[in-house]
Amino acid sequence: MSAELLEGSEAIARAMVSAGCRFFAGYPMTPFTEVLEGMAKLMPDAGGDCVNAESELEAIGMAWGAAAAGARAATGSVGQGLSLMQESIAELCFARVPMVVLNMARGQGDYYQATRGGGHGDYRTIVLAPVDLAEAVRLVQLAFYLADKFRNPVMFMGDYYLAHVFEAVDTGAVDFGALPRKDWALDGSSSGTGNARIVSSIMPTKRNAPVYVDYGTYLETSGEKIAVMERQMEPMYEQGSCEDADCVIVAYGTPARIVRYVVGQLRAEGLRVGFFRPVTLWPFPSAQLVAATRSARGIGVYELNAGQMIDDVRLAVRDRNAISIGGLSFDSSGFGIAPELTPRKVAMRIRKFMAESGQGPGA
Amino acid sequence: MKCYVPTDAPPLEPARLVDDFAPPLILPGAHKLCAGCGEPAAMRAVVEMIEAMGFTNRTVGVFGIGCYTSFSPGLDVEVMQALHGRAPSLATGLKRVHPNSIVFTLQGDGDMVNEGLQEVIHTAARGENVTCIMLNNGVFGETGGHMTATTVLGQRTKNSLEGRNAKKHGYPIKMAEMLAPLDGVAYVARGATNNARNIFRTRKMLRGALAAQDQRRGFSFVEILTMCPTGWFIETAEAPDYLNDKMASFHKMGVIKDAAAAPA
């Protein structure tokens, strides 16, 4: 397949179909609606099913049933709708059901929700946050692969810009390697064989199972699974001109795209500024951030919220000070289209930060 | 009538092997529910009917949360565990991926009518080819006898101590009658497990519902009234009659709908 000029939401939908997604359910909510529309259009020809669910609770429930039946299944919403899905996301981790959850966020106020989760119990979901469409069409396919690999929900984090920007992208299938057969999936065929399968967050085995697992033991192994994901999942990141940087600016998602551009401009002016972008928000690329900021005296975190990712940055760099240089920025639509998000305004903030931390001109 | 078994001497007759009487889809071992509970008989009726209809190797059960959840590891039937109230949506997703499977949900009145009312209504209205089975004992049995949306007027529960009062607690929902008028619904019936005759009738209802699913006539629903002497705070032996007098006089038994097919 070759590159084609596509709007973000359609490109993401096409990439999901290329990844083998054959069941999608969602409840309309901008900017997730646009992806749902794309899936509704594509699924019949792909031999799959797209259901316009009656609520977010039902959307994730349907995707759960399809995923437990062995299909590659996905759902999603924006942060508000994902609030309604938190119970299921947590329970899907314990039931070990792979699923891709799209988080087409409004602004960046949902970083905590995505990386910490608002559900019950000890669980984690891998969170992938692309910066542009080229990365998005790859990461959304990787999300299906990782979900199957770890039998865990994986979150794909986009936003209004990603859903609506037009870019030339190749949405063809990406091969990430072989996966084990889903011999745990349900289709009824094992009923009556003496070894009927069970997909349950609380009763992991049948009572005649060769290795019976009780609930307490199961919860412990669920906890261990978090460590396995952290060990086996190499955190992904991007960095630019950090080697000799006095200041490193950390940002993710669409804002990182603007920050990356501005940092390039400031570099051309001779400012020793670097750029670091986490691609996996969980696991957070902590060690990589520490390495990238080794020579820096200032670490600025640009995010469009009151300061959320800065917690992960501070946990990574420990006793060194990281300063929030972003902030809330909404237009009246509420879709997170940030008036602050222009190269000129971002450059102003970075210059101010560098001046105040004694690294830039005017210091 | 009280019956005492002497325990200070060996039994007069040798013990019998109960496993010989267990249906094939129930794995050896005992259930963990209270004496006098009406749910084991309902569960048994469901799996016996699946076997009798030849659906064994294509059946998946989707379980809600309640006392009956503890049956799931004891069945030789594939089980998917749902969150409280969400079973009909999970059943929908599974059935859409495997249209030839036979999918039933098992939910209580607390699970289906309190927590997940919207799920079952929309699943019914969509005419999904699944069978939802509600075990209705009129209380939250697992939490110890609290009022649900099907608790009948006058019934005492831990949060309606003087009896359910319409002015204070509102009216109970007749689930079967509420689902029946929806166009996507092919089959609706209400049975009970308080005596052998009603269990026999309930088995016929389960046959009707599973047949509707197999013939892709749309959504099917069987409500089964079950005893919960523990949650009703009455003697075990009184529970079958209590069910008959108090519950079944409001939640009336019978086949409520058996449509050839949903309207196009």
CATH assignment of the domain containing A90: 3.40.50.970
What's the confidence (pLDDT) of residue B262? 58
| pLDDT tens digits along A311-327 | 999 999 998 889 999 98
Cα–Cα nearest to A238, from A283, A289, A277: A277
- Domain assignment present for residue B206? The answer is yes
What's the confidence (pLDDT) of residue A330? 83
In this structure, the answer to whether residues A247 and A119 fall within a common structural domain is no
For A38: left if phi > 0, alpha if psi spans -120 to 50, otherwise beta; the answer is: alpha
| pLDDT tens digits along B144-197 | 999 999 999 999 999 999 999 999 999 999 999 999 999 999 999 999 999 999
- Give the CATH number for residue B99: 3.40.50.970
Number of domains in chain B: 1
Nearest-neighbour CA in chain A from B50: distance (Å): 10
| Residues in chain B closer than 8 A to A201 (CB atoms) | 81
Number of domains in chain A: 2
Q: Indicate the range of A87-91, B25-29, B115-119 predicted with least confidence.
A: B25-29
| pLDDT tens digits along B37-49 | 999 999 999 999 9
> A146 vs A65, A127, A247, A248, B40, CA distance in Å?
19, 10, 34, 30, 40
Nearest-neighbour CA in chain B from A157: distance (Å): 24
Residue A279 tokens, joined = 């691609």
pLDDT > 50? residue A362: no
- Domain assignment present for residue A231? The answer is no
What's the confidence (pLDDT) of residue A319? 80
Nearest-neighbour CA in chain B from A289: distance (Å): 39
Instruction: Give CA–CA dist A45/A8, Å, rounded.
Output: 20
| Interface predicted TM-score (ipTM) | 0.95
In this structure, the answer to whether residues A10 and A95 fall within a common structural domain is yes
Given A119, A146, A169, the domain boundary residue is A169
| pLDDT tens digits along A2-35 | 899 999 999 999 999 999 999 999 999 999 999 9
pLDDT band for position B120 (cuts 50, 70, 90): very high
Decide if A266 contacts A347 (C-beta within 8 A). Answer: yes
**A65, A198, A200 member nearest B89 (Cβ):** A65
Given A169, A201, A228, the domain boundary residue is A169
Task: Give the residue ranges of DSSP H helices in chain B.
Answer: 39-52, 87-97, 109, 117-125, 166-169, 175-179, 196-214, 229-232, 239-242
- Domain assignment present for residue B18? The answer is no
pLDDT band for position B23 (cuts 50, 70, 90): confident
- Domain assignment present for residue B263? The answer is no
What's the confidence (pLDDT) of residue B256? 98
- Domain assignment present for residue A175? The answer is no
What's the confidence (pLDDT) of residue B18? 61
Query: CB pairs below 8 Å between A and B: how many?
Result: 159
| pLDDT tens digits along A98-134 | 999 999 999 999 999 999 999 999 999 999 999 999 9
pLDDT > 60? residue A360: no
| Residues in chain A closer than 8 A to B29 (CB atoms) | 207-208
Q: Indicate the range of A111-115, A319-323, B207-211, B247-251 predicted with least confidence.
A: A319-323
Instruction: Give CA–CA dist A21/A144, Å, rounded.
Output: 8
DSSP A117-131: -SSSSS---EEE--S
Chain A: residue nearest B31 by CA?
A: A207
- Domain assignment present for residue A243? The answer is yes
Cα–Cα nearest to B77, from B188, B210, B191: B210
- Domain assignment present for residue A140? The answer is yes
Q: For chain B, what's the residue count?
A: 264
- Domain assignment present for residue B176? The answer is yes
Structural domain containing residue A140:
4-169
Cα–Cα nearest to A97, from A197, A246, A195: A197
pLDDT band for position B234 (cuts 50, 70, 90): very high
| Residues in chain B closer than 8 A to A207 (CB atoms) | 27, 29, 73-74
Nearest-neighbour CA in chain A from B182: distance (Å): 16
**Other CB atoms within 10 A of residue B152 CB:** 16
Structural domain containing residue B249:
30-258
pLDDT > 80? residue A361: no
**Other CB atoms within 10 A of residue A109 CB:** 17
The answer to whether the CB atoms of A22 and B76 lie below 8 A apart is: no
Residue A207 tokens, joined = 């009572």
In this structure, the answer to whether residues A100 and A14 fall within a common structural domain is yes
- Domain assignment present for residue A190? The answer is no
In this structure, the answer to whether residues A92 and A8 fall within a common structural domain is yes
Nearest-neighbour CA in chain B from A199: distance (Å): 5
For A336: left if phi > 0, alpha if psi spans -120 to 50, otherwise beta; the answer is: left
Q: Where are the strands (E) in chain A, listed by range?
A: 4-7, 21-26, 49-52, 72-77, 99-105, 126-128, 153-159, 166-169, 198-199, 237-240, 247-250, 273-278, 280-282, 298-301, 322-324
pLDDT band for position B1 (cuts 50, 70, 90): low
What's the confidence (pLDDT) of residue A363? 40
Instruction: Give CA–CA dist A337/A251, Å, rounded.
Output: 16
Instruction: Give CA–CA dist A252/A114, Å, rounded.
Output: 13
Cis before residue A283, ω within 30 degrees of 0? yes
The answer to whether the CB atoms of B78 and A67 lie below 8 A apart is: no
| pLDDT tens digits along A188-226 | 999 999 999 999 999 999 999 999 999 999 988 988 999
- Domain assignment present for residue A194? The answer is no
- Domain assignment present for residue B217? The answer is yes
- Give the CATH number for residue A249: 3.40.50.920
The answer to whether the CB atoms of A206 and B27 lie below 8 A apart is: yes
- Domain assignment present for residue B10? The answer is no
Instruction: Among A51, A55, A58, A182, pick the best mutation site for testing chain B contact (most B Cβ within 10 A).
Output: A58
**B29, B59, B70 member nearest A188 (Cβ):** B59
What's the confidence (pLDDT) of residue B166? 97
- Domain assignment present for residue A67? The answer is yes
Burial of B235 (0-12, 13-18, 19+ CB in 10 A): exposed
What's the confidence (pLDDT) of residue B12? 78
| Residues in chain B closer than 8 A to A61 (CB atoms) | 82-83, 86, 88-90, 92-93, 119
Given A169, A190, A208, the domain boundary residue is A169
- Domain assignment present for residue A184? The answer is no
| pLDDT tens digits along A241-286 | 999 999 999 999 999 999 999 999 999 999 999 999 999 999 999 9
How many percent of chain A have pLDDT more than 90?
91
> A44 vs A22, A50, A99, A163, CA distance in Å?
9, 8, 20, 22
